[in-house]
Structure 1
Amino acid sequence: MNLPNKLTFSRILMIPLFIILMSVPFPWGSWDIGNAELPVAHFAAALIFIIAACTDWVDGYYARKYNLVTNLGKFMDPLADKLLVSAALILLIEIELAPAWVVIIIISREFAVTGLRLVAAGEGTVMAAGSMGKLKTATQMIAIAALLLHNFPFSYMNFPFGTIMLYLSLVFTIISGVDYFVKNWSIMRDSK
């Protein structure tokens, strides 16, 4: 297994630790960050999330630079992103930092595109992430990190950066989903 694929698998392995930090009531207290409180456990979970998100960029960079792109990587990389983002968004609903309807649309798009990828794989085609999908992923990662940090450092200015980024990521999620289906409709139409 090459380095990019190892980084992808490490991202998947970080997800349970992230979930535990967000779900278990740790007695570590919280920090006052302007107009909000930032629980220490959420800060630790945000760090895990940010590290995991950075591995996404690093594995893609190394795969392209050293010609280490594999079908396993093309399949596992978007799957790792979807698992990480879905876990984070669902937990953000639980702590009331993300509206459920936004999360439902984002996760529904992920299921739909994954279904399209499975049909394409059945036809012998591996769909790599397109530029709109990458922009969608980047805005989702930024939004989630900001919300996990309870909008720090923007909380001192009372500026809802995390919420704005979440809605921006929703727009890119919808656009990229439509883009995938328009560009790959022939796979669905012609599947056996």
Structure 2
Amino acid sequence: MGVFLDLTADKVFVAAVLIALVQLNLVPAWVTFIIITREFMVSGLRSIAAAKGKVIPAGIWGKQKTFITLVALGALLLAKGLGAHMLSLFPLMLTFNSQTVNAAEILLLVADGLIIIATIWTILSGVEYLIGGWPLLRSSEESAQ
């Protein structure tokens, strides 16, 4: 029960932060959509597996995705807290000059890059879960017929 609640809390936290960042125009909605959709898909697959007495463990892509996402969000929040706003991928604003090349602005740019990497890892880990859970889905289809 504790493992389930811990995973659920992580997913709710990340989803809430991403939705808030979309509202502030700091993260594009498509990134949030991809990440949250993958979370629903993985939760659904795990539920199907649990109903059949099986466990789908977290894969390496999923673990890396979680780490990259949390680091990206933390870096983004820290950069914004330090006042960064000139070097950003969301919205695209790359004004390099003596005033924008400072730690906060570079951190914001790195955080935005990590968000892109986290989105790519999200897609790859979603594919990993689909491949791992495909036999369970196939047996669900066969038993429904």
- TM-score under structure 1 length normalisation: 0.58
Equivalence for 1:190: 139
SS of match in other structure, 2:79: coil
Distance (Å, rounded) in 2 between the aligned partners of 1:82 and 1:162: 19
Q: 2:99 aligned with 1:168, yes or no?
A: no
Q: CA RMSD in A?
A: 1.8
Give the corresponding residue for 2:130. 181
Distance verdict in 2 for CA 1:103–1:140, change over 3 Å: same
| Letter of the structure 1 residue corresponding to residue 11 of structure 2 | K
What amino acid sits opposite 2:120 in the alignment?
Answer: V
Residues 56 and 132 of structure 2 are in contact (CA less than 8 Å); yes or no, is this contact kept in structure 1? no
Deviation at 1:74, TM superposition (A): 3.7
* TM-score with structure 2 setting the length: 0.76
What corresponds to 1:5 in structure 2? Answer: none
Give the secondary structure class of the aligned counterpart of 2:49: helix
Query: How do residues 134-145 of structure 1 correspond to structure 2 at under 5 angstroms?
Result: 134-145=63-74
Fraction of identical pairs, as percent:
41
CA deviation vs aligned residue, 1:91-112 (integer Å, no higher than 9, x gap): 1111111001111111111111
Task: Give the whole-Å Cα distance in 2 for the aligned partners of 1:142 and 1:83.
Answer: 16
Q: State the one-letter code of the partner of 2:56.
A: M
Counterpart among 61, 77, 81 of residue 148 in structure 1 = 77
Tell me: higher relative CO, structure 1 or 2? Use CA pairs within 8 A at least 6 residues apart. 2
CA distance in 2, matches of 1:153, 1:132: 31
> In structure 1, how many angstroms separate the alpha carbons of the residues matched to 2:55 and 2:3?
7
* Partner of residue 47, structure 2: 118
Between the aligned partners of 1:103 and 1:150, the Cα distance in structure 2 is: 19
40, 60, 67: which is aligned to 1:131? 60
